[in-house]
Structure 1
């Protein structure tokens, strides 16, 4: 069984047709664009966002207290350590860039013809988040995501895995862009005084709007680059 799984992970699979790739992009755009749909799908981006905070916090020497994922698709990562310094800066910086980074990494795997490796890699990252989630809704959200990835990667045909992989990566790339606009809209209305951008502003004395601009530039750049890898 293990040898068969390994063969599936390392075997290069043929790329889907351009029509299927663009169809996946369209479906992903429909999952990100309309507000009513986005309320249901945004939670998957939140998992990546909070996972990014958590990973960088641990790598920078901070102590991770827990992650909370809420039904309104918001999230919170609690860490302990110095309230200032590079560790705190990189921890605050990581959230908004992580979905785009994951999408870019996924695009590289798909460009190399390895959708199964993409799905299993994504699924194996989630238990690391699950053990740190501290509320029931968050645990259920992560378990459901793991279940979907497992079902597709284990029971789906190569074609199904390929199309789903492209859908997932397009969703991450597009889903990395929209939250930045939402962030600035909330800041403009004074509803996000402790947002990542405002925390970075207090830590670095660089205006929060500059950090929002950086988040947007990074997300759009990842979308353009990842999109080129996916459609070539």
Structure 2
């Protein structure tokens, strides 16, 4: 495989609208399958695509913790929509930033991927995702997280090493759409939990930042929804090459 610098600057032909549309549909189906459990109790294979957003969510907590002078003890993924990051922070403000970064990271990463894909830089998206998986692997301590991280990393490495340009595009575009939309299901769950069980006693990112800032959790949830909308709005013309 070429050097990392060469891969970051390698371009491939832009895909046609068919591939862009198919990969967008994959993301839509993944989001829809996160909203309700089928009567059979068996989730479709598309539901497992939400693992990617969860990895970036927990990676967002970890990255901001490190960047603000803190550290990370471990990252643990429980399911395609659930995980946890045990981190420490040097100040209350840094703690708020690290906690808020979870729901912010996937759509922002998706927008960044869209900007690269607009320039034909699919290999760069794959390489940066591989680097992200290596970062998460350093603080992985359980088997499920290890398997998921290695599986995603193996797909990225295999695509970089052997995939033809159309497949590189397919994987990278699917990733961009998934990251842009993956947190919709999680935010919907935050709202559902509050309206079903009340606003007290919740233990999640919105409750944590609300407790530390005095800003109601509904405001934080609305802000994360707005961020997703903003990211999708700006990424859409980039991915469709409008």
Relative to the length of structure 2, the TM-score reads 0.88
Say if 1:41 and 1:8 are closer, same or farther in 2 by CA, change over 3 A.
closer
Q: 1:16 aligns to what SS in structure 2?
A: coil
Q: CA deviation at 1:75?
A: 0.7
In structure 2, the partner of 1:59 is: 67
Determine if the alignment matches structure 1 residue 224 to structure 2 residue 206.
no
Alignment counterpart, residue 214 of structure 1, candidates 201, 223, 235:
223
Q: Is the CA contact (8 Å cut-off) linking 1:32 and 1:41 kept in structure 2?
A: no
Aligned Cα RMSD in Å?
Answer: 1.9
Write out per-residue CA displacement over residues 117-162 of structure 1, whole angstroms, 9 at most, x where no aligned residue.
1101111121111010121111111011111111122111011111
Residues 1:140 and 2:147 are matched in the alignment = yes
User: Deviation string for 1:51-82 (max 9, x for gaps)?
Assistant: 00001111112231111111464111112245
In structure 1, the partner of 2:174 is 167
Task: List gaps (5 residues or longer) in structure 2.
Answer: 35-42
* Residues 1:198 and 1:8: Cα distance change in structure 2 (over 3 Å): closer
1:156 corresponds, among 139, 163, 181, to 163
Aligned ranges 1:1-232 → 2 under 5 Å: 2=2, 7-35=6-34, 36-37=43-44, 39-71=47-79, 73-81=81-89, 85-190=92-197, 193-231=202-240, 232=242
Residue range with higher mean Cα deviation, 28-37 or 143-152: 28-37
Report if the CA contact (8 A) 1:39-1:73 is conserved: no
Unaligned runs of 5+ in 1: none
Cα pair 1:115 1:161 within 8 Å, conserved: yes
Query: Is the partner of 2:215 in helix, strand or coil?
Result: coil
- Distance in 2, matches of 1:40 and 1:12, equals 29
Residues of 2 paired with 1:205 and 1:153: CA distance? 46
User: How far did 1:39 drift?
Assistant: 4.1
Which consecutive segments of 4 or more residues in structure 1 shift more than 3 A? 5-9
